[in-house]
Amino acid sequence: MNGATTPLQTLIRNVRVHDPVHGLDGEVRDLAIRDGRCVTPQPGEPAGETIDASGCIAMAGGIDLHTHIGGGKVNLARLLLPEDHRDARGQPCARSDNPLELDACGHVTPGTLATGYRYVQMGYTAAFEPAMVAANARHAHMEMGDTPILDHGAYVMLGNDELFLQRLAEGAHPDELRDLIGWTLHATKAMGVKVVNPAGISAFKFNQRKLDVDEGHTHWGVTPRQVVHALAQGLHTLGVPHPLHIHGSNLGVAGNIGSTLAIIDALEGLPAHLTHVQFHAYGNEGPRKFSSAALQLAEAVNAHPEISIDVGQIMFGQTVTASGDTMRQHANAGLASPRKWIGSDIECDAGCGVVPFRYREQSYVNALQWAIGLELFLLVRNPWQVVLTTDHPNGGPFTSYPHLIRLLMDRSFRLEQLAKLHPDVAAQSALKDITRELTLQEIAVMTRAAPARLLGLHDRGQLGVGAAADLAIYREHADRERMFTTPERVYKDGRLVAREGRITAVPVGGTHFVEPDYDRSFDRVMRERLRRHGSVHPDHAVIGRDELCSCCNGGTLLPTACLAGARA
C-alpha cells in the first residue's frame, strides 16, 4: 500500500448493494470506507474494522427532502401539544439508558434531539426543512443545528412577501425578480425556494378566503399563475439545483385537481417540484362529492419529466398539521382534534397555522386520502420523479416510513389494510386493482437517489467511489416494515452512528445551502427596504457562514467542511 494513503476505516464484505445511481440492483460485493468516503477496496488491504454482511443489503443513507423539523411553526406545534411529550400515564418520557442519548421525546413533533436519533435509527442521514420564513431564518438554522448527526438545510419561503408581490404587480423586469430571489437565498443560507399557496397567504390578510390559480389578488392584482412562473423562471436562471418547491393552491379542497393541473400548466415547461401532492389530488365526483384524482395527476406527471413530486402520505392516528398556509389552516381550524389551534405571522413574509388532527380509519375522507397517496406512489411510472414523504408531521410522523414502505412493497398487506377502512373507500378507489409492488431498487430511488439528485447533492444518495460514506445496512427480511425499522448499522461520513437501533456516536451534521450568482447591487435595495420597514437591522439580515458552524456545536468554529454548500 502507498505510504501516503490512510488505511481503510471499514470494510463491509458480501453485502447486497442497491445503488440506483450506479445501476447496482442487489449485486453482492464489498464496500470500503476511507477518510469518510466510499472507496474501492484492494485485494488483501487491511482495515480497522471488517464486517461480514452476508444476508444484508446496503443502501446510501436515507434523505428526507420534505420534513418540518425546524423553525417557528414546529416549536408552536410542540407547545400546542405538551401531551405529545408525555407517556400514556401523563408522565415525562422515560430516560434512555444510552449515555449518548440526551433526554428527548415526542412522537408527533419530537424535539430536535429525538428527531436526530429517530431518523438515524431508521437509516436516514439527512433531512430538510421545507418552509423557512426569511425573517426567522437564523432561528431555523440554529434549531436544525441542534439536531444531531443529520445533514440539514432549508427552503426559504417566497411568493407571499410584500416586496415580491409589489414588484411583480408593478411589472418588474425578470432580472429584478431574479436578484430578489438570489439575495433572499444568500441572506438566509437556503438551498431552495418554497412557495406556499402562491399569493394566497397574502390575500388572506386582505380578507380573501380563496385564491385559485387564475384569480386575482384583491390588493396586488397578481395571480398565482404569475407568481409560480416568475419564481420558477428566476430559480432556473440562477441555476439553483433544486427547482421551485410548490405547495399549490386550494390544499385539501374537494375538486382541487383542476388547480394542481393549472399549476403545472403555469410552469410552461420549467422544472418544478410539487410537494405533498396527496392533498392536491382530489376530485368532487360521487355521492359524497369527494373522490380520488390520483390517476389524473399521475398522468400529468408521467407526461412531464421535468416535474417531480413528493406524496405527503397520510398515516392513521394523532398528528398535528403545521403549515405556512394560514388561509387553509384557518378554514380547517374547526376540524382540530384536540380542539385548539394557532395562527401567526412574522413581518408579512408568509404565515403560520398549527392545527392538531387525528386521521381515522373509519372516516370516509381520511381513508380515501390514505388510498389516494398510495395510488400516486404506484401510478407514477418513473420512481425518479417521486419522493417518499408523509409531509411530517402533517400527514403523519416520519417514524411511520417503514410501515409505508411495506404498504408499497407488499400488495397483500396493502389489501388487508384497505379492508379495515371505511367500506365505501374500496369501492371508490382504484387501489384494490393496482397490482404493482415496489422493489428494493425503487425504494432506494425514492428515499435516497432521487432526493439527492433533486437537491443537487451529487456525493450523497449513492455509494460510488468518492461519495460521502453515508450508508445503512439492513438485515434482509420478508417483512419490509421490520427490515426498514431498525438497520443493523448506520454510518454517517464513515462513522458508525447506530447499531441495531442504538446510537453509537453523535457527530455534527453539515448545513447545505446555495450561493447564487445574482447582481450584488441589489443588496442596496434590500438594505433600504429593511431600514424603512424591517424589524431586523440591515447589518444583521444576512446570515454568515460562521454562524452556521457555531450554531452547530455551541459556539466552537467548525472547519469549513461542515458547510456542505453547493454553489449555484
Q: What is the pLDDT of residue 537?
A: 87
Higher pLDDT, 550 or 249: 249
Structure-derived torsion over alpha carbons of residues 184, 188, 194, 200, reported in degrees to the nearest 10:
-70
Q: What is the pLDDT of residue 43?
A: 87
> What is the number of structural domains in the chain?
1
Q: What is the pLDDT of residue 72?
A: 87
Q: What is the pLDDT of residue 563?
A: 42
Q: Is residue 150 predicted with pLDDT exceeding 90? A: yes
What is the DSSP annotation of 347-392?
Answer: TTS--EEEEEEEE-TT-HHHHHHHHHHHHHHHH-S-GGGEE---TT
Q: Is residue 550 predicted with pLDDT exceeding 60? A: no
Q: What is the pLDDT of residue 257?
A: 98
**Across residues 474-486, what is the average pLDDT?**
97
Q: What is the mean pLDDT of the chain?
A: 92
Is 417 a domain residue?
yes
Residues with Cβ within 8 Å of 202's Cβ and at least 6 positions away in sequence, in order, are 160, 161, 162, 165, 217, 219, 220, 348
Q: What is the pLDDT of residue 88?
A: 64
At 274, which helix (H) or strand (E)?
A: strand 272-274
Share of the chain above pLDDT 70, in %: 95
Q: Is residue 527 predicted with pLDDT exceeding 90? A: yes
Q: Is residue 554 predicted with pLDDT exceeding 70? A: no
- Domain span including residue 434: 60-503
Q: Is residue 447 predicted with pLDDT exceeding 60? A: yes
Q: Can you name the residues that pair with 359 across neighbouring β-strands?
A: 317
Buried/exposed code over 498-525 (b: 16+ C-beta within 10 A; e: otherwise): bbeeebebbbbbbbbbbebebeeebbeb
Q: What is the pLDDT of residue 92?
A: 75
Residue type, 159: G
Cell of 553: 456545536
**Across residues 121-143, what is the average pLDDT?**
95
Distance CA(360)–CA(358), nearest Å, equals 6
Is 327 a domain residue?
yes
Q: What is the pLDDT of residue 4?
A: 53
Is 25 a domain residue?
no
Q: Is residue 514 predicted with pLDDT exceeding 90? A: yes
Q: What is the pLDDT of residue 347?
A: 80
Q: How confident is the model at residue 151 (pLDDT cuts 50, 70, 90)?
A: very high
**Mean pLDDT lowest among 103-117, 296-310, 485-499:** 103-117
**CA distances (Å), 337 to each of 64, 80, 262, 334, in order?**
27, 11, 32, 9
Structure-derived torsion over alpha carbons of residues 436, 277, 139, 87, reported in degrees to the nearest 10:
-60
**Across residues 226-246, what is the average pLDDT?**
97
Q: Is the distance from CB of 566 to CB of 457 less than 8 angstroms? A: yes
The dihedral through the CA atoms of 436, 394, 297, 63 has a sign that is negative
Q: Is residue 561 predicted with pLDDT exceeding 70? A: no
Is 524 a domain residue?
no
Distance CA(337)–CA(317), nearest Å, equals 11
Q: How confident is the model at residue 455 (pLDDT cuts 50, 70, 90)?
A: very high
Distance CA(404)–CA(389), nearest Å, equals 9
Q: How confident is the model at residue 102 (pLDDT cuts 50, 70, 90)?
A: confident
Higher pLDDT, 567 or 178: 178
Is 566 a domain residue?
no
Buried/exposed code over 472-482 (b: 16+ C-beta within 10 A; e: otherwise): bbbeeeeebbe
Q: Is residue 271 predicted with pLDDT exceeding 60? A: yes
User: How many C-beta atoms lie closer than 10 Å to residue 162's C-beta?
Assistant: 16
Q: What is the pLDDT of residue 350?
A: 86
Q: Is residue 203 predicted with pLDDT exceeding 70? A: yes
Is 156 a domain residue?
yes
pLDDT digit string (tens) for 257-270? 999 999 999 999 99
Is 351 a domain residue?
yes
**Across residues 497-516, what is the average pLDDT?**
95
**Euclidean distance between the first and final Cα of the chain, in Å?**
38
Q: What is the pLDDT of residue 553?
A: 36
pLDDT digit string (tens) for 2-36? 445 789 999 999 999 999 999 999 999 999 999 99
pLDDT digit string (tens) for 315-374? 999 999 999 999 999 999 999 999 999 998 878 788 999 999 999 999 999 999 999 999
Is 78 a domain residue?
yes
pTM passes above 0.85? yes
pLDDT digit string (tens) for 59-99? 999 999 999 999 889 999 999 999 888 776 777 777 788 88
* 3-state class (DSSP) for residue 72: helix
Burial of residue 446 (CB within 10 Å: 0-12, 13-18, 19+) is buried
Cell of 14: 458480501
Cell of 39: 472507496
Q: What is the pLDDT of residue 106?
A: 86
Q: Is the distance from CB of 147 to CB of 70 less than 8 angstroms? A: yes
Top-ranked range on mean pLDDT: pick from 88-102, 474-488, 518-532, 536-550: 474-488
Distance CA(129)–CA(393), nearest Å, equals 12
Q: Is residue 562 predicted with pLDDT exceeding 80? A: no
